[in-house]
Structure 1
């Protein structure tokens, strides 16, 4: 039942956005009664928070899985570009869900979850930096800033759909991070 509710909520968020979503719409999409929905979730925000949790867990698993497979096995440019590509691929699979999440994250109180994601990715990038023969000055500061720049730019790329070819975007952000974080 929970799976049906979360899948329905994801669909409603993607189609209607957060503001137009309601427990009644979610229950209807899940083909259950609103009363049944309330047995599992007290309100719309609790459902959306569960959708956000699930989505961010999947995103983190993809990105960190990629990073873990690459740390120490390739150069910085390859690591950065491929990690950007994995992130962008994941975000582009459900852009309307990304929009609904990004527009309502503060209201839903999931900023701590996002901060934990950023922290985990930062730890993995720092581990990669520590394997270099040449130390990077202020590496923890540079990684903290780089992770947040990448997060912001990839989200904005997916949401804004700027007239920038995907490969150009990936190359430019890669250059930006490599020049800043690794020199």
Structure 2
């Protein structure tokens, strides 16, 4: 009789294909959820609306996520990971000789790019009734961001007392967050103008702390 036995690799290939299809479906659902959350807000969004945006049935959605909160948590986890990569690059200590304007512009540009590429991040982090786990992650991210801003400021202002650096870091993050909401509600040249205003406010706030040493380029 001819040997009809399938090679061992064939059996392994089938689960891999199923896993790849599942990962693509999850990515599709998360992308749809991001769109719905941005349009409707987290509170008003529904699993039916997310399934409709993804072009699948609610039953298909429930194969991967039990409810809207689980979708938001998965989306938030992914965005948190990407944000941590962004602030790691944006808030690395710099050469003390770096002009203030250059250091501020580099940091702001990276954060603005992330938030304009992922507008749902702002929706999830600042919306009402967001899942408790996301709120906790956001609080932890806020603390970490303040710490990284302190590190950046310490490299620019090495003689500044630590309590002043910490307070300044909190104010800088508050200024950025307030400006971000304005940036995200505008597009094109008007958005760029608001980005520049955020940079200008930060620069004018920080300049007196460093005196002439932090002069513009």
Q: Report the TM range for the smaller structure's normalisation.
A: 0.7 to 0.9
Q: Where does structure 1 lack aligned partners over 5 or more consecutive residues?
A: none
1:99-120 C-alpha deviation (Å, 9 max, x unpaired): 6325525532222222222222
The residue that corresponds to 2:71 in the other structure is 47
Deviation at 1:9, TM superposition (A): 0.8
Give the Cα separation in 2 of the matches to 1:87 and 1:105.
Answer: 22
The residue that corresponds to 1:149 in the other structure is 175
TM alignment of 1:65-144, pairs within 5 A: 65-68=89-92, 71-72=94-95, 74-95=98-119, 97-98=120-121, 100-102=123-125, 104-109=127-132, 110-132=134-156, 134-137=158-161, 138=163, 139-144=165-170
> In structure 2, do the counterparts of structure 1 residues 134 and 58 end up closer, same or farther at CA, with 3 Å as the change threshold?
closer
Over 6 Å off, 4+ runs: none
Give the Cα separation in 2 of the matches to 1:59 and 1:143.
Answer: 18
TM-score normalised according to structure 1 size? 0.76
TM-score normalised according to structure 2 size? 0.66
Coordinate RMSD, CA, aligned:
3.1
Question: Larger radius of gyration, structure 1 or 2?
Answer: 2
| Contact 1:62–1:86 (CA under 8 A) maintained in structure 2 | yes
The residue that corresponds to 1:158 in the other structure is 183
Q: Where does structure 2 lack aligned partners over 5 or more consecutive residues?
A: 1-24, 212-217
